[in-house]
Structure 1
């Protein structure tokens, strides 16, 4: 593959046995894109087995070589013309196609939709058309294949064209053209066919070459789902590289980047490229990474944006269009996994607005979504996610749903909805607040409210440190209270998530009174902290990690070594509170 040449991703879809593989085989053979001797080898194998040769066999032969680890040009570049290289997205079925298109493993710029001239339009022909519409593929070419089986009859071609055009118009798909072809005999695949002189249009290859390459979306707001964070330690290299694939926009050294949904921010120190020199800027389509001036804890699933750009949406309730392909219906109350960008969260159906049969576009109100149905519904995730809407930035609006470790559906996000739970937090449950302000309390008590979370692994003296800190601050005349997480539990409930919510709610009330609250819990994670920060001001949450010297998930404000005495730990925390102006240091 010549990497200086232009390439284009295409997908070929259609009902089973309508001839997709034969058309691909023809394109490989008739454009001389096969490995040398491969065509003759397959033909000879068919001759020895007394089996009629078919061009579809070429695909099987190439796949066999790929499975054996043999590197072949056609595995990357299925066929080529003088203008460009064409890469076919391998999508033998609905689920593979949906997975490739939605997860971004490959994004089709052109779709070839194949219909058998003899069998006519099938339900899957319409379902594939609906998928193309939902995923926003604009360049669609419909191939009416196996014209040899209907004696190259123009009337058959016209009838199918008319019927399918009427369907596509209903779902806002406007195909570039319809082409009558015979994959078996190569008619209208590469060159115009003499057997269908009534057709005055272009061949498949001519139409493909007529499409202009999509421009990279560098002009859109910067979006990079975080794939991973790499930490280097060898030979004095202490870089932490935030890595991912840039979906849209550009980023440059010095830009302030904000990560969603956490809201953490820092400035870009350097841009790193694998096996390449550092760059000053980089744009969409590149797998890259960058280092930050201020080290912050970022994890996979966050989405990077640039400060000042249009923000991505962040919520845990979304209105979506989804296509369901699971063996079992999608039902309310059942938990699934939703993947959008690199984020992976638990999700449930909150409401099914309407269900559409993609093969006939009939819709009805139902309590479940059956296989091959499209639904407009409201989904609720177990924690906030970052995304864009499909009509704004399509690349970061697509998602898939996993059921029992298999991709069972996917679609696009239409609208963000308010997170009712966080709304309740923000409104403080609509209690009647005191007329005494936090500023008045701070002046009176000589302190600001704070929630000090002391966490770490089991058996790391967290409670001893918390109680000693409470005693020390109380002796200093501070309004302080120690609240172990066990104080907020009900005996019959052992759900950690619910415990954290209760702790957060209690903390919010006590901090509103101007108090410093000390809480202990084992191994708090980022989700736990986000739950707390949804209830109280995030700047008032002080995170202390006790134990092993390792990078924790919570991006702690203070690390207390397991070798530190309880007295030293208390002194460290008190100094931190003074530094953050939670308690005022005497002159």
Structure 2
């Protein structure tokens, strides 16, 4: 149940200790499981406590008539001594013979989870303290889940208070198994998990190996910490430089901020996101030095000037054009909710992402996760201290990095009335990078106007032209209705044509797959083609799932007065029973990736011009609704 310490493990030299950044370790666990006691003892046994500190705490305990506690070394606040709980995070430097550390003691009490998250978000690895008597408690599981949520995969488990269970080997293995099974269910690599039987009060297996555990051959706590690996260097990641402020000095505009990852050189061409502006770095400014700086890197707070005057706002991400962040107005958030009021669909919050602020709306609560057994519930609210996956949408484009791409820029917090109410990680699973659809690559291209007015085409055809954009899940009935409507209108003399998803993919879009980015490009091409048909005087009927609202909005923007969104609505279960092409069955078996409604999202229209419920209506009734809409909307006598 434990990971043995390899005797061949390389050690960090004394010279390296002086130049290596300290490893940040967060201590978490259920209240009263002994976190602060463990930290106090760890500091004492490694010789990291300032001279006289222990004596002053003993004197304080004597004055108050209370027993000495190692936890008092860390619990510096008066309120903590009175209540016996840690209510804020404490950060203290210490060192072993092999490495420097910053130890972050995070509160375990349920009411102070926000502070625990603050501490864990700064850490490179974690020590999870579990009481050998109580085993995994709800708060223990909650903290373990949050470590996973925050991307901390190196975890040392200190099974504490083993002296109170008689140093029972059987009990140690019982608790160790319980912990490992939970961490395994989270998807953590158990090779990085070490579990150690300790007594924080007496110092057993903290620094020195205990005589009480002859049955245990693994590392002590400090030995285990010394084997942890430093995080992936920020320099190895793409440049991310959030603009914090813009200053004017000596007629110069200086963009200031902290480089979160990557490096930047004088003369580099840089891209601002989400505005998509570009410029070259004319100079790099550092303070207080006035010497010329040619290059800077992650972790440095600097200013830069540009070779041209651009209007740049706080919150823009600076990157290199070759590896920019994604652009989107919708994403998944894996969040931990801290608000007093529940999070629900339709609620709006301020999202803070590095130095940027955006107004976002909760579009959907996808699932709420029970941290006790990792089960999920499909409910429409997220209560305080719950973990959930939600869809967040903004009216503006947001520059984002998925957390698994860049942890420095993949975290966000939600604020309501100036109070932080939640925090989480960004996921773009199932959603496309919208940058591609907004980038114009062609140059020296000029639009040529037709000499035949659109109204003249309408008069010749006897009806107005436009785009009937049918959207809905696979199996909802889009193609069936589109071709039936085409047949009806053709017989009435309409110039009408159907653009169907399958047919288009055999020709115009045969080079595209079904990734989120390819789906976006597919709809962009179809939208452009539909626009050309409509300007030629045709009534164009399209039948595409077109799952992303932003894509449909871009097609609407091509010809707002001619675009009509038709929501062909049917419940997922009914679409699956129809399954005319057998695609849902393949998706359920895992044979089709990124299948809308199963493993990829569908965003229904917010305000469609027409909604047809094919779950409740027959084909005949649905075609009748469509034909009535067309005849009333596209007649030359219509004011629409």
1:420–1:201 CA distance, 2 compared to 1 (3 A): closer
1:43-90 Cα distance to aligned partner (Å, 9 max, x none) = 12212322110011111238899xxxxxxxx97643222323211235
How far apart, CA to CA, are the structure 1 residues paired with 2:18 and 2:303? 22
Query: Does the 8 A contact of 2:334 with 2:425 survive in 1?
Result: yes
- Report the alpha carbon displacement of residue 108 of structure 1 after superposing the two structures with TM: 0.9
How far apart, CA to CA, are the structure 1 residues paired with 2:338 and 2:79? 28
Query: Does the 8 A contact of 1:258 with 1:307 survive in 2?
Result: yes
- Report the alpha carbon displacement of residue 305 of structure 1 after superposing the two structures with TM: 0.6
How far apart, CA to CA, are the structure 2 residues paired with 1:118 and 1:76? 28
What residue number does 2:213 align with? 196
Summarize the alignment of residues 209-358 of structure 1 with structure 2, pairs less than 5 Å apart.
Answer: 209-232=226-249, 237-276=250-289, 277-309=291-323, 311-358=324-371
Q: Unpaired segments of 5 or more residues in structure 2?
A: 1-16, 81-88, 440-445, 452-534, 536-552, 559-640
Query: Does the 8 A contact of 1:256 with 1:268 survive in 2?
Result: yes
Aligned residues: 422
> Please, which of 91, 94, 97 is the counterpart of residue 116 of structure 2?
97
Q: Unpaired segments of 5 or more residues in structure 1?
A: 66-73, 427-436, 443-512, 514-530, 537-587
Query: Does the 8 A contact of 1:216 with 1:285 survive in 2?
Result: no
How far apart, CA to CA, are the structure 2 residues paired with 1:420 and 1:258? 16
1:384–1:90 CA distance, 2 compared to 1 (3 A): farther
What residue number does 2:157 align with? 142
1:49–1:364 CA distance, 2 compared to 1 (3 A): closer
How far apart, CA to CA, are the structure 2 residues paired with 1:138 and 1:394? 13
1:245-292 Cα distance to aligned partner (Å, 9 max, x none) = 222211111111111111122111122233344421122222223221
SS of 1:44's equivalent? helix
SS of 1:60's equivalent? coil
- Report the alpha carbon displacement of residue 158 of structure 1 after superposing the two structures with TM: 0.5
How far apart, CA to CA, are the structure 2 residues paired with 1:332 and 1:181? 46
- Report the alpha carbon displacement of residue 400 of structure 1 after superposing the two structures with TM: 1.4
- Report the alpha carbon displacement of residue 423 of structure 1 after superposing the two structures with TM: 12
Query: Does the 8 A contact of 1:31 with 1:190 survive in 2?
Result: yes
- Report the alpha carbon displacement of residue 97 of structure 1 after superposing the two structures with TM: 2.9
Query: Does the 8 A contact of 2:25 with 2:123 survive in 1?
Result: yes
What residue number does 2:41 align with? 26
How far apart, CA to CA, are the structure 1 residues paired with 2:436 and 2:261? 31
1:278-321 Cα distance to aligned partner (Å, 9 max, x none) = 42112222222322121212222111111222x21112211222
- Report the alpha carbon displacement of residue 166 of structure 1 after superposing the two structures with TM: 0.8
Query: Does the 8 A contact of 2:337 with 2:384 survive in 1?
Result: yes
Does structure 1 residue 44 correspond to structure 2 residue 63? no
What residue number does 1:525 align with? none
1:385-406 Cα distance to aligned partner (Å, 9 max, x none) = 1111122223221111123332
1:406-432 Cα distance to aligned partner (Å, 9 max, x none) = 222222111177799999999xxxxxx
TM-score, L = length of structure 1: 0.66
TM-score, L = length of structure 2: 0.61
SS of 1:386's equivalent? strand
1:370–1:42 CA distance, 2 compared to 1 (3 A): same
- Report the alpha carbon displacement of residue 119 of structure 1 after superposing the two structures with TM: 1.6
How far apart, CA to CA, are the structure 1 residues paired with 2:216 and 2:238? 44
What residue number does 2:381 align with? 368
How far apart, CA to CA, are the structure 2 residues paired with 1:420 and 1:84? 41
Query: Does the 8 A contact of 2:326 with 2:435 survive in 1?
Result: no
Summarize the alignment of residues 514-553 of structure 1 with structure 2, pairs less than 5 Å apart.
Answer: none
What residue number does 1:493 align with? none
Query: Does the 8 A contact of 1:357 with 1:372 survive in 2?
Result: no
> Please, which of 2, 11, 19 is the counterpart of residue 26 of structure 2?
11
> Please, which of 119, 122, 143 is the counterpart of residue 128 of structure 1?
143
1:320-362 Cα distance to aligned partner (Å, 9 max, x none) = 2222232221112221121112111222211122221122111
SS of 2:369's equivalent? strand
1:56–1:342 CA distance, 2 compared to 1 (3 A): same
- Report the alpha carbon displacement of residue 231 of structure 1 after superposing the two structures with TM: 2.3
> Please, which of 194, 198, 208 is the counterpart of residue 181 of structure 1?
198
SS of 2:173's equivalent? helix
1:425–1:250 CA distance, 2 compared to 1 (3 A): closer
Summarize the alignment of residues 473-552 of structure 1 with structure 2, pairs less than 5 Å apart.
Answer: none
